[in-house]
Amino acid sequence: MKKQTDIILVFLFFIACWIFFFWLYPYHLYYKEQITLCVLQPDFLQTYLQKPAFLTEICGDYLTQFFLWTGGGGSILTLTFLLTWSGLRIALARTGITRHTSLWALLPIIAEWGLSCHLEYPLSMSLGLLFSVWAFTLTTLSTSARTRGILHTIMLILLYCTIGAHFLAYALLAIAHECKHSNSALFPLFLLIISILIPIGGSHFYYLTLRQSYFYPLISNYMLRQPFAFLLTEIFLLFSILPAFVSRLDRRWIAFPAILILSAATLSKAYNASEEKTLAFSSEAYFGHWDKVLQLNKDNVHPTYLSAYYTNLAYARQGKLCDELMQHYQPASYGLLLQINESTGYIYSMASPDALMECGDMAQAQHSAMLAMTFTPHQRSSRMMRRLAEIAIINEDYAVARKYLRMLSHTSLHRKWAEERLEIINSGQCDSIPYWIHKRRMLPQQDTLFSANQWRASLTNLIENNPQNKVAADYLLCFHLLNKDLEHFKKDYDCYYYPTFGLLPPRLYQEALIACMDEKANPQEQLKHYRISAQVYKDCLEYLSIHEEAQGDGRALEKKFGKTYWFYYYYAQLKP
């Protein structure tokens, strides 16, 4: 009955694990696929041999492709953890734990669960733990201490080359096992010294720094500031081994609370609801589910630059950017067009091309996509590869497009998408695709040199070459309004918007035009010239009246005018 109870608890644990990644953390797994690329070509696969963990990285990157399937990531991770637990259960039993091994074997799984919540903790690390554990169970089949000693030494070297950092899990299990079963007290010490020296030798062989050699395939100096956090698994593994040496710990009333407490502490620290929401906006936009983007914004309790960015982009695609601009969270112009520089993370860089492509600036979009590819931990991104292929097709640079598409055609997940586009290019039917035709009409006919992030220069260049580009015109004017730059708004409105679209100006522009009217000119003539409705003018007078009576107290205005540009202009605080 005790064993059956333990198995039931383990079964519930893995169900909870799958539900967690399926319901609470799916977008982190989707995004892991987007910052990964596995091309099944010999020259590409050979690059894995240049660093440690080549086996788990190949397997991990290949399986990560299927994270993009609904439930795929949760299922793959849960199955990986389950297989690891099965091996740990055998390994702990051989180390000397005779009671509740099923529960104690869960402790390293808890650590891997928490670490896998981080965007930059790859599947290859969890596979490394899996291979380490099962390699240990195979080695301990030998009853000869001398033979095990030789096997342990060889296995440590092989595991470092094939799985990387988590070879230390094998080292801990081997040391614990030999402490219990070896007659020599020096042999466990020998294994410990070998485990420390192997990465030092690996740093010279693989051209890594000494520090990098201990935690590869993790990459530092990105979002994962402390790559040695992977040692949490080894620490939890030590806890699970302790009952083999301290018999009083071999009790369920100790194991079960330990699992609950460590699970709660680890997952509460690892779970990042705000980041998951941000990645949800980015991923749904990448999937083309713009209705879901708007739905996500309705109940968004974690507004960020990216949530505002994709909400604005979703409305821009519907031609409602200026109509909805004041209806949701706006971090000034940072939620309209994303600035990319050397300190920008890859999450923002990967999102940046989307609005630029919508406006028609393919040169800037290409620049952002290539930077985003460079900013990812391993400089590989399936999402950016697809973006670069699309941009090349729109630019009619078919040689470049074929290069990207051929690479994607050797992946398991993106093969169909790439082959369809290769067929269209090779058949000369690109001019029959409405989306590509529309984007080509938005391309500027003349090249203009300007630096990155100079959005006014970029947008005005697009409008000057194509005055009908309303998306670019709206982005330009909204950019000025969110920055409270009424001088440039008025100038660009008169130059780019009024001649083409000035017959029916949106209410937002009418409110802004009233705010920047020339005090010396006749107000009625200006109202008539800019076609400002009587209702907007009446609301402006009421706003000013309440503002004067309340002596500038915004609380008196917020209920009725909180969504107007006047309220934003006077009360929103712009922060760098």
Q: pLDDT, tens digit, for every residue of 149-186?
A: 999 999 999 999 999 999 999 999 999 999 988 878 88
- Confidence band for 290, pLDDT divided at 50, 70 and 90: very high
96-102-108 Cα angle (round to 5): 85
CB burial of 529-566 (b: ≥16 within 10 Å; e: otherwise) equals ebebeeebeebbeebeeebeeeeeeeeebeeebeebbb
Q: Is the pLDDT of residue 356 over 80?
A: yes
pLDDT the model gives residue 461? 92
Q: Is the pLDDT of residue 2 over 70?
A: no
Positive/negative CA dihedral, 369, 370, 376, 380: positive
Please provide the size of the chain in residues: 576
Pairwise CA distance, residues 321 & 166, whole Å = 49
Q: Torsions phi, psi of 299, nearest 5? A: -115, 35
Mean pLDDT for 177-202 is 91
Q: Torsions phi, psi of 239, nearest 5? A: -60, -40
Phi-psi region of 221 (alpha: psi -120 to 50; beta: other; left: phi over 0): left
Token pair listed for 12: 């519930």
37 Cβ neighbours under 8 A, 6+ residues apart: 61, 380, 381, 382, 385, 407, 411
High-pLDDT (> 90) share of the chain, % = 84
60-64-69 Cα angle (round to 5): 155
The answer to whether residues 108 and 240 touch, using CB atoms and an 8 Å cutoff, is yes
Pairwise CA distance, residues 547 & 287, whole Å = 45
Q: Is the pLDDT of residue 449 over 90?
A: no
Q: pLDDT, tens digit, for every residue of 495-553?
A: 999 999 999 899 999 999 999 988 878 989 999 999 999 999 999 999 999 999 999 89
pLDDT the model gives residue 576? 56
Host H or E run for residue 547: helix 534-549
510-506-524 Cα angle (round to 5): 30
CB burial of 333-350 (b: ≥16 within 10 Å; e: otherwise) equals bbbbbbebeeebebbbbb
Pairwise CA distance, residues 492 & 340, whole Å = 24
Q: How many CB atoms lie within 10 A of CB 248?
A: 7
Q: pLDDT, tens digit, for every residue of 232-259?
A: 999 999 999 999 888 777 787 888 888 9
Q: pLDDT, tens digit, for every residue of 294-349?
A: 999 998 888 999 999 999 999 999 999 999 999 999 999 999 999 887 778 899 99
Token pair listed for 281: 């906006």
Pairwise CA distance, residues 265 & 42, whole Å = 43
Pairwise CA distance, residues 477 & 493, whole Å = 7
Q: Is the pLDDT of residue 20 over 90?
A: yes
Tell me what the pLDDT averaged over the chain comes to. 93
The burial class, CB within 10 Å (0-12 / 13-18 / 19+), for 272 is middle
Pairwise CA distance, residues 8 & 31, whole Å = 33
145-148-154 Cα angle (round to 5): 150
Q: Between 283 and 100, whose confidence is greater?
A: 283
In this structure, what DSSP letter does residue 516 have? T
Token pair listed for 484: 């409270």
- Confidence band for 448, pLDDT divided at 50, 70 and 90: low
Lowest mean pLDDT among 272-286, 425-439, 441-455: 441-455
Mean pLDDT for 380-404 is 96
Tokens 């502490």 correspond to 265
Pairwise CA distance, residues 558 & 331, whole Å = 18
Host H or E run for residue 545: helix 534-549
Positive/negative CA dihedral, 197, 203, 209, 213: negative
Does the pTM surpass 0.85? The reply is: yes
The answer to whether residues 493 and 515 touch, using CB atoms and an 8 Å cutoff, is no
The answer to whether residues 351 and 384 touch, using CB atoms and an 8 Å cutoff, is no
pLDDT the model gives residue 255? 87
pLDDT the model gives residue 494? 96
| Torsion, Cα of 77, 82, 87, 91 (10° steps) | 110
pLDDT the model gives residue 300? 87
pLDDT the model gives residue 50? 95
86-89-94 Cα angle (round to 5): 130
278-28-212 Cα angle (round to 5): 110
Mean pLDDT for 201-229 is 91
Pairwise CA distance, residues 337 & 334, whole Å = 6
Mean pLDDT for 358-374 is 93
Mean pLDDT for 50-65 is 97
pLDDT the model gives residue 1? 60
